[in-house]
A = this chain, B = another copy of it.
C-alpha cells in the first residue's frame, strides 16, 4: 500500500450501522475490513473479532500461548463474581456520570457546537473516555448490556464526530493550541499519542465486544492519515517520541486486529526512539522512552510509563522474536521482581514523579504504588507469560491482581485508590479512596481490568491448554488444534485451595493440560480421576500429557496456610518486620479489629518455630463482603506505646511482652470501613 501526505486513506472497516442501538450482528465484521485495505501477502488475516482475546496472539510467531476470548469464559459465583458484578452495575455507570459531570464529553460536544462549556480536565482528559470505553468493551464481551451498549454507542459517535479531515482527533489541542500539535515539546509532555493509544485500546475492546468498528476506524484514520504520512524515521518525515508510552502496545494490538504490518512498523520505530528529538537524561529516565528500548538496564522513572513501555516492547518481541528485546525484558523483570516490587504487586515507590525509587527503596506509609502501575505490571507479565509459558510471570500477575490492583477499588465499587500504601495513619488527614481524581487514570483502568478478567484464566498452546487462575468458572472454547473443549472449575479459591476441574473435550484426544502450581504452594497435590500426579512444583506449570476424555476430573489441593514472610534486609523499612500471606492474599492489620491493642507501636507478630503456623483462619461471610480473617497470638510490648521521646538509650534487655490477640484481614479489603491505621509489614518478636 502506498500512502501520500494529505491523501485520505481508505478505512479498513466501513461503518454500516446508523442506529446507535444496532446489534453487533448488523456490522460487516472482518470480511468487510479485509476488502477495504486488505492485508498484503505478508500480512496474515486476523481472527474474527468474536474470537480475539485480551490480546490477539493467534498470528504472533513468538507467542507460546494464545489468548482465550473473554466471552469464552464465564466467571461464576465466587471470589471475583461480586467484584465483577459491582464493576458493571456500579463502577462503570457511576464513572460515566463522573466523566459527564467533569465535562469530559462536553470537551467533544463543544467542538461541534453542542456545548458551551469550556475545556475541562488536564490535557490528557480524552484518555479518560477511552479507558472507560475499553472497560465497557470488555464488560460487553461477557454479554450484552443494552443500556450500557446504547449510551456507549452514542458517546463513540460524539467522539468520532470531532475527528478532523486530516485524521487528527484530540479535544485539547484545538483553537489557540492547534499550533502546538505534535511539536517535539508537546510530544514529550502533551499526551496526544497517549490519548490515541487509549483510543485504540478502547476501540479494539469495543470492536471485539460488538463488531462495531466506528471508533476503531477513527483511531486507524488518525494513524493512517495523520501520523504515517508525516511522521517516521525517514528524513522527509517528522520525528516521534511517545512521551508517555502507551501508543506502542496499542499500535501492535491494532496490527493484530487488522493484520496491517504498517502499525507494527510504526510501533517498532517509536520503541527505538528518534534522536532528532534530543532529550535530557532526566527525561529519558522519567518518560522511559525516546532512546532504544534495548538500551534500558533497569526500571526507573515514572512507573506507569515504564510498565507500559515494557508491555509494548514485549508485544514487539511476540511479533518479531527480536532477541535483544527479550534479553532486555528479562533484565528488567529481574529488577522488578528482585528489587522494585511491593509484596502486593504494586510498583513505583515514590510519590515524587510517581516513580521507581532506588533498588530496595520500598517505603510502606509513603508508598505510591499507583493502581495504574500495578495494572501495568499485570499487563506486562501477561505478555511475558505469553512469550514464555513460564509460571513466574503468572505468580506476579496473581500477586498484583489479588492485592495491589484489587485494593484499588472500594468493595462498593464507587471509590478508588490512586496510591496504594502498605501502611496508613488516618491522622495525616489523607483520604485514600475517592470517587474522582482530576487525573482519573486509575478508576477506569481498574474497571477495564476487572471487566477483562475472564480473558486471563486460560491460554491455549500448540500442545494443549494452560490454566492460569482459579475461581468458579466455565470455559467454552477450543484448542489450537480446533478441538472444541469445555472446562468447568469448582473451588472456594482463594479462601481454600481445593480446585476441581472437569474437562469436556468434544471427543477423547491427546493433549497436555498445563496446571499452574502457584509459587506460594507447599505440598500441593494434583489428582486426575482419582490418581495422583507426581511432581507438582510450586512456581511451575504442571504438564499433564494424556488422552483426555469428556468428564475427566482433575483436582488440585493447594494448601492455604498462613505464611510469615520476611523481606530482603536491604529494604530499609521492612527490617524487624514481617508480612503475612495466605495463598495469593497478602494480609494486613487494621487498628479497628484489634480490640485489645490501642496502638500499633506495641504490637508484634511472634516468629519462632512454634508460632510460624500459629494462625487460625476464620471465614466471616458478613465482614467486608465475605473474607477469611486470620487470628494470631501476637505479642504486646506495652513500653512501646508509652515511649514519648524520639531517641532513647537502647535497652540491653529484650523487651518484656505479653500475649495479644491479633486479627488480620486481606490487604485488598482495607479502608472499607471507618478510617483506621493499617499496616502490612508488622514488627516481629521472637519471644
Residues on A lying within 8 angstroms of B by beta carbon are 337-339, 341, 343, 351-352, 357-359, 361, 363-366, 423, 425, 427-428, 563-573, 575-579, 601-602, 607-609, 611-612, 640, 643-654, 683-684, 686
Contact = CB atoms under 8 A, between A and B. Distances in A.
Given A365-B358, A652-B608, A652-B609, A647 B569 contact: no
Contact of A565 (B338, B643, B648, B653): B648
B646 A425 contact: no
A612 B650 contact: yes
Given A343-B647, A568-B646, A569-B601, A425 B358 contact: yes
Nearest to A607: B650
A684 B655 CA distance: 14
18 contacts: A338-B646, A341-B646, A352-B352, A358-B427, A359-B425, A363-B366, A363-B573, A423-B572, A565-B650, A567-B647, A568-B647, A569-B602, A570-B601, A575-B575, A575-B683, A576-B576, A609-B652, A612-B652
Given A567-B647, A572-B573, 4 more contacts: A358-B365, A566-B649, A566-B651, A568-B644
A323 to B, nearest CB: 25
Q: How many copies does the complex hold?
A: 2
A609 B651 CA distance: 8
A47 B685 CA distance: 62
Given A644-B338, A650-B578, A361 B366 contact: yes
- A-B CB proximity, top 10 nearest: A576-B576, A609-B652, A566-B650, A575-B576, A564-B650, A352-B352, A569-B640, A569-B601, A358-B428, A570-B601
A686 B647 contact: no
Contacts of A607: 650, 652
Nearest to A351: B352
Nearest to A612: B652
A576 B573 CA distance: 9
A654 B576 contact: no
Nearest to A684: B650
Nearest to A425: B358
Contacts of A573: 363, 572-573, 575
B575 A647 contact: no
B649 A572 contact: no
A434 B124 CA distance: 38
Contacts of A569: 601-602, 640, 643, 683
